[in-house]
Structure 1
Amino acid sequence: MTSISPSVDGPAVTGGRVVVTGGAGFLGSHLCTELLARGAEVVCLDSFLTGSPANVAHLMDHRSFRVLRCDVTDFVHVPGPVDLVLHFASPASPVDYLQLPIETLKVGSIGTGHALGLAREKEARFVLASTSEVYGDPLVHPQREDYWGNVNPVGPRGVYDEAKRYGEALTTAYRSTHGVDAAIVRIFNTYGPRMRPYDGRAIPTFIRQALAGEPVTVAGDGSQTRSVCYVDDLVRGILALADSGHPGPMNIGNPEELSVLQIARDVVDATASGVPIVHIERPVDDPRVRRPDTALAQAVLGWSPKVAWREGLTRTIEWFARELSVPA
């Protein structure tokens, strides 16, 4: 197995070879960057359906980094030893999975099976990127890992929710049947540099609109809540879980709860744009509340988020301003 330090805050990966599926996506690219910084050799697999080569362009000259164009729903073959498989391939934003419903279901089912097969073949640790969406529109708040969720399987969001729920079941089956050293991380709302400005999620949408001097559009009355975790904190938590040997499921996210309207107001303030906030129709099955219970991560990993919302928002706005070529 990968040589991984027991310290959450120190170098989490000091050697070994790591495969990251979806490695050119928002989260995947941050994982690749951090793994290389911690001394790992990284193989990035991505079909570039929703990921972008630009996200890993800064890594291309790194001697320990290799990127392969690969659709994990077709076949996965990686020559040589592999110590850790991080399965992050999937459309993740509502815009993506509503436009790519079949692809989303296939990568969550067939793709997860292929990634698990790779881990089994290589006798590697496996971590599935699951999601808070497995809790649906929750009737329990905050959400603990032992909550089964309230999901509409035939609603518009069902393609993503059920793909991840199936992926969790398959990961559990590979662990119990084949002895794969597998874990499940349930990722809550995350934000930071390299998000796509038109991916449909609230924070990049609000920032893009505010920087362009456009009204910020809030779904419904904005009273629905989210917990938002800065990407650096999330990556720390994921790699700590990979280190720990714990099977999960484990929530990784920020337990601080904000209303969507408050997030919009904070974006307007932080951009000093002075743009108005307008309300639009709320999407079908949009969760009313979302906040993780992170007691398990704190107890097992010693993990908690460190980057405050306002600090992370400032960093994210500065990155978007550079990418969109507008004053911050």
Structure 2
Amino acid sequence: MNEINRSFTPAVISSNRRILVTGGSGFIGSHLCERLLDAGHEVLCVDNFFTGARANVAHLLDHRNFELMRHDVTMPLYVEVDEIYNLACPASPIHYQRDPTQTIKTSVHGAINMLGLAKRLNAKILQSSTSEVYGDPQVHPQPESYWGNVNPIGPRACYDEGKRCAETLFFAYRMQHDLPIKVMRIFNTYGPRMHPNDGRVVSNFIIQALTNQPITLFGDGEQTRSFCYVDDLVEGMIRLMDRTPDSVTGPVNIGNPGEFTIRALAETVLELTGSRSALVRRPLPVDDPRQRRPDISLAKSLLNWEPTIELREGLAKTIAYFDAFLASAQAEVYAAH
């Protein structure tokens, strides 16, 4: 991986905005809420708690500028805000495949409802899309101009095609109503507050290592992913939302271009935890991408953004979080999910 420039100045966010974050008690959403509050904004966090958890925002509940609302975005929402970050949707295969119809509704109906709210308020709105719109890519690394290679009827389609349709809706509202939109394609992200039971590779490996369980490698472990620490991701998200002119709509890839095999990730986790867990192989899931790496040229040129946190540094922080988590009562709460 090339050396990363750590000299950029974090995005400066103008104050006095009331901001809606859907999916705000989830992994990424909770970090975004925290960052927006630190910048002096009022934050309305909306979540139906399907994968999010109150524990993720418990430290924010007494903040004078924070409000938490239980609501499902598949139903209309009538609030007054200046900006909307639409993060609501389960993002791991275990969760989005549990109820594929509801996953599609969350992406599509949720987008329609949030776009309708933004249109009524003439509010800027950002869609958290995903690298899954590229499917199992035949172009590597993946630029925003690549249209993808997605199986529309496979087990991952409820998420992949739901997010693709949401992007279409956002640009339709842009063309038809001149709505100020932003579309961000999120690549693999990790860090504290990941759901421990969501089946994602980073949280899986860390928990298995810390509990001395066998570490499961799907396939031969030579498939690749690129891992972005959550603080870097949130910085990119805010930069895209605040980028002027508003004609900069995206889509923009936000992720870490450092590419690692899944086997290398497992070996790094074993080293950092000191675990003696064995590596065991399992069959590769259907339609699981063999390669995933973002081309972040647009993010660099339009947002002056690139990640600053190397994988080993981010993993150390994430391991420390899960080590404390497993020793706490929160583990029992998540075990019920």
TM-score (norm 1): 0.95
Q: Deviations over 1:237-276 (max 9, x none)?
A: 0000000132000000000000011011111111001211
Shift of 1:123: 1.0
Shift of 1:50: 1.2
Q: Deviations over 1:82-132 (max 9, x none)?
A: 221000000100100110211110011111100111111111111000000
Shift of 1:13: 4.2
1:218 aligns with 2:217: yes
Q: Do the aligned partners of 1:134 and 1:162 also contact (CA within 8 Å) in 2?
A: yes
Q: Do the aligned partners of 2:189 and 2:229 also contact (CA within 8 Å) in 1?
A: yes
Q: Do the aligned partners of 1:8 and 1:236 also contact (CA within 8 Å) in 2?
A: no
Percent identical across equivalent pairs? Answer: 51
Distance between the aligned counterparts of 2:14 and 2:94, measured in 1? Answer: 34
Distance between the aligned counterparts of 2:173 and 2:293, measured in 1? Answer: 29
The letter of the residue matching 1:54 is A
Which residue, out of 293, 296, 307, partners 2:295?
293
Alignment partner, residue 308 of structure 1? 310
Q: Deviations over 1:268-314 (max 9, x none)?
A: 11100121111111100000000000000000110000011100000
SS of 1:183's equivalent in the other structure is strand
The letter of the residue matching 2:259 is E
Q: Do the aligned partners of 2:11 and 2:238 also contact (CA within 8 Å) in 1?
A: no
Alignment partner, residue 151 of structure 1? 150
Alignment partner, residue 48 of structure 2? 47
Shift of 1:179: 1.1
The letter of the residue matching 2:122 is E
TM-score (norm 2): 0.93
Shift of 1:232: 0.1
Moved more, 116-125 or 136-145: 116-125
Equivalent residues, number: 318
Q: Do the aligned partners of 1:120 and 1:178 also contact (CA within 8 Å) in 2?
A: yes
Shift of 1:12: 2.6
Distance between the aligned counterparts of 1:115 and 1:234, measured in 2? Answer: 22
Alignment partner, residue 238 of structure 1? 237
Q: Do the aligned partners of 1:95 and 1:200 also contact (CA within 8 Å) in 2?
A: yes
SS of 2:146's equivalent in the other structure is coil
The 4+ residue runs of structure 1 with deviation greater than 4 A are none
Q: Do the aligned partners of 1:131 and 1:185 also contact (CA within 8 Å) in 2?
A: yes
1:283 aligns with 2:285: yes
Alignment partner, residue 107 of structure 1? 106
The letter of the residue matching 1:319 is Y
Distance between the aligned counterparts of 2:85 and 2:11, measured in 1? Answer: 20
Summarize the alignment of residues 110-189 of structure 1 with structure 2, pairs less than 5 Å apart: 110-189=109-188
Q: Deviations over 1:35-57 (max 9, x none)?
A: 00111110011111111111110
Distance between the aligned counterparts of 1:271 and 1:317, measured in 2? Answer: 7
Q: Do the aligned partners of 2:11 and 2:239 also contact (CA within 8 Å) in 1?
A: no
Shift of 1:197: 1.3
SS of 2:240's equivalent in the other structure is helix
Unaligned runs of 5+ in 2: 1-7, 329-337
Shift of 1:11: 2.9
Distance between the aligned counterparts of 1:106 and 1:224, measured in 2? Answer: 30
Q: Do the aligned partners of 2:11 and 2:235 also contact (CA within 8 Å) in 1?
A: no
Moved more, 14-23 or 57-66: 14-23
What is the RMSD computed on CA atoms of the aligned residues? 1.1
SS of 1:258's equivalent in the other structure is strand
Alignment partner, residue 4 of structure 1? none
Shift of 1:145: 0.2
Alignment partner, residue 87 of structure 1? 86
Alignment partner, residue 3 of structure 1? none
